[in-house]
Amino acid sequence: MDRRLAPPRRTSLLRPTSLLRRTFLRGAAGFAMALPLLESMQASAGVSAPRRYFLGFAGSSIGFPGFEYDQLVPDAEGHGYDIKRALQPLADLGIGDAVSVVSGMEIPWGDAGSVPPAGRVRQWHAKSVAPLVSGIAGADNGNERARGATSDQIAADILGKLTPHRLLNYRVQAAYYRGSNGDGGDRGRISYREDKGQIVPVDPIVSPRLAYESLFTGFVPPDPALASAALAVLRRRRSAVDLVLEDAQALIPRLGAADRVRLERHFDELRELEQRLDMDAPPVTGACEMLADPGEDPAIGGSVENGDTGGFANGGAYSGEELRAEILTDLIAMAFTCDLTRVASLMYTMAQCFLNANPLFGQPSDLHELGHYGVGGGQVGLDAMSDGVGWHVGHFGRLVQKLRDTQELDGSSVLDNSALILLFEGGWGYDPEAGDPLSVHSSENMSALVAGHAGGLNPGGGQHVRNDGGHPTQVINTALRAVGIDHEMGDVPGVVGALFG
């Protein structure tokens, strides 16, 4: 069954409905609603298009055991670089000239008690993620949780004030697929928020259906009958949430201190939902439109434990991630287009990704095992591994392509006003855990992709920039600066200046 999104409908599917809704809501709730989007629209009238920030993450290294190179990083530096196997999807999408590759970076490591700033502990799996996304050294006791706020949350605090969603925080990979009782836990998160002095992990939305329903809250179809039904649903949602908020608020002071903190967090999130329900649908202008309903979510696949090629061939360890990636990408693109949000983070795959590669590109193995001779060694192994890297590149590229092809009201493209990055969990090189000089369990030779032109980023289009010895989190600093946020992540100073020309 083809469950892809229907082609964009160019006829207008929505219209502002503020008068009717506000009238009712005022009457029902007895007080006037804040309408931040309206203010946003007023504030931005005649002002240039907003800047958007996108962080993508791939739970994969980019090389292959025994190889002193990978097939992501071009040989040539500068513009017009050569396209290797893992970048081929960019060329196929016709955006080979729109994406920069930053190579040669590394995350330092150390043993417990002496992990360097912004570094990782000697052990490999998932230990690079915390310093990568936060710029602060990871724990040295096996905990894989980030210890600083992440860039999507930092950007959302600044760019997300005026949009219905301060941030879209999604994950493509639906389950961990490893271990009889395995779960992703911290391996399934790249978003952490500072809240009341604590660093709090933020669960991503994984369900495409939920992402869709959440994003298009407030959109009302122009057909009067459909509009009436949609408005009724909105009204009921609002009434229910209002009641619950009142009850939660009454309950909070009666709880013990720890429970109070936890219910307050729940309450805060619920209030944000209430505010979204109050907002008007965005104006139907330009390319903004309501996407077709993606329908029910694909079922969650079971784990394939046993190196069982039959299990991979039969579609285990897979929950329709190809479709999930397409839907979530489309939603992010449209959210940027409609100014429903200006910040998104998308975890394509979890750290140490055990997603089945077979439905993605015909290799009966999970992505992690591809890096460990899952389908063979030598060039065969490197190619298979590169196809796994390329799968992430392809979906990132698809987002870049959509934003490039979407026009803002002022005639620029959304890509012109965006900064998008794709980070990888690892590179290749020395593995201090095994003492292996050429391993995929390495945070040497890390690379990242950077697209968009916000703030003068990539002035001459995509190029290959070496940032030898630099920290990959400098790429985040760079993208933040491009969207107007002068912030250096954790203990990682500096930006990749060459990306600004």
Partner 1 sequence: MKAISAAASTWGVLLMSGAGCYSGIGDGAGQGATDGDAAGSEGDAGDTGDSSAPVDPEVLERVAPSGMRRLTAFEYAATVRDLLDVEVPADLLLPEDPRQPFDNDYRIQVASQALIEGAELLAADVAGLALGSPTSRDMVVGCTPTGDSDVECFRSFVTRFGRRALRRPLTAAEVDRYSGLLAEAEEAGDFYAAVEVALRAFLQHPEFLYRIEIGTPVTDSPGVYRLGDHELASRLSYFVWGSMPSDEILDRADAGALRTAAQLVDTAQGMLDDPRARARVGRFHALWLGYERLGHGPELAASMRAETQALVDRVVFEEGSPWQELLRAEQTWLDDTLAAHYGLPAPSGGPGWVDYGDSGRLGLLGHGSFLSAVSAVGDTSPIQRGLMIRTRMMCQDIPPPPPGVDIDNTAPAEGQCKDDFYRVTLGAPSCAGCHDHFNPIGLGLEQYDNAGRFRTQELDLPTCEIPGDGVVDGVPFSGPAELSALLLGSGTLNACVTRQLYRFATGRTELGPVDEAFVAEIADEIGPADDFDFAQLMVRFVADEAFSLRRDDTETGEGQ
Q: Which of residues 344-363 bind partner 1 (CB under 8 A)?
A: none
Q: Does 182 contact partner 1 by CB under 8 A? A: yes
Stretch that binds partner 1, among 14-22, 81-89, 206-214, 280-288 (CB under 8 A): 206-214
Q: Which residues from 430-469 bind partner 1, rule CB under 8 A?
A: 431-435, 441
Closest CA to 144 of 132, 152, 154: 132
Q: Does 203 contact partner 1 by CB under 8 A? A: yes
Using a 10 angstrom Cβ sphere, with 0-12 exposed, 13-18 middle and 19 or more buried, the burial of residue 162 is: middle
Give the other-Cβ count within 10 Å of 216's Cβ. 22
Q: Does 479 contact partner 1 by CB under 8 A? A: no
Q: Does 226 contact partner 1 by CB under 8 A? A: no
Among 72, 93, 121, 149, binds partner 1 (CB under 8 A): 121
Closest CA to 175 of 155, 195, 204, 152: 204
Q: Where are the alpha helices (DSSP H) in 289-320?
A: 309-313
Q: Which residues from 25-64 bind partner 1, rule CB under 8 A?
A: 28
Among 15, 209, 466, 487, binds partner 1 (CB under 8 A): 209
133 vs 152: CA distance, rounded Å: 9
Stretch that binds partner 1, among 39-47, 172-180, 335-343, 454-462 (CB under 8 A): 172-180
Among 6, 32, 76, 112, binds partner 1 (CB under 8 A): 112
Q: Which residues from 372-411 bind partner 1, rule CB under 8 A?
A: none
Enter the DSSP assignment of 414.
T
- Smallest gap, in angstroms, from Cβ of residue 267 to partner 1? 8
Q: Does 197 contact partner 1 by CB under 8 A? A: no
What the block records as the tokens of 367 is 């992505």
Among 262, 293, 295, 380, binds partner 1 (CB under 8 A): 262
Torsion sign across C-alpha atoms 393, 69, 73, 171: positive
Q: Does 181 contact partner 1 by CB under 8 A? A: yes
Stretch that binds partner 1, among 42-50, 90-98, 252-260, 337-345 (CB under 8 A): 252-260
- Smallest gap, in angstroms, from Cβ of residue 202 to partner 1? 5
Closest CA to 135 of 148, 152, 154, 122: 148
Among 18, 44, 239, 407, binds partner 1 (CB under 8 A): 239
β-pair type (429-431, 436-439): antiparallel
Q: Does 494 contact partner 1 by CB under 8 A? A: no
325 close to 363: Cβ distance less than 8 angstroms: no
- Smallest gap, in angstroms, from Cβ of residue 477 to partner 1? 26
Closest CA to 346 of 1, 52, 40: 52
CA 391 to chain centre: 15
Question: Which residue spans within 119-181 are E strands per DSSP?
Answer: 120-121, 168-171
φ, ψ dihedrals at 53, nearest 5°: -125, 130
| DSSP assignments along 187-201, one per residue | GG---EEEETTEEEE
Give the other-Cβ count within 10 Å of 424's Cβ. 25
Q: Does 94 contact partner 1 by CB under 8 A? A: no
354 vs 173: CA distance, rounded Å: 9
- Smallest gap, in angstroms, from Cβ of residue 53 to partner 1? 17
Among 75, 247, 468, 486, binds partner 1 (CB under 8 A): 247
Q: Does 487 contact partner 1 by CB under 8 A? A: no
- Smallest gap, in angstroms, from Cβ of residue 183 to partner 1? 5
126 vs 404: CA distance, rounded Å: 33
Stretch that binds partner 1, among 82-90, 262-270, 379-387, 391-399 (CB under 8 A): 262-270
- Which of 341/474 has CB closer to partner 1? 341
Q: Does 243 contact partner 1 by CB under 8 A? A: yes
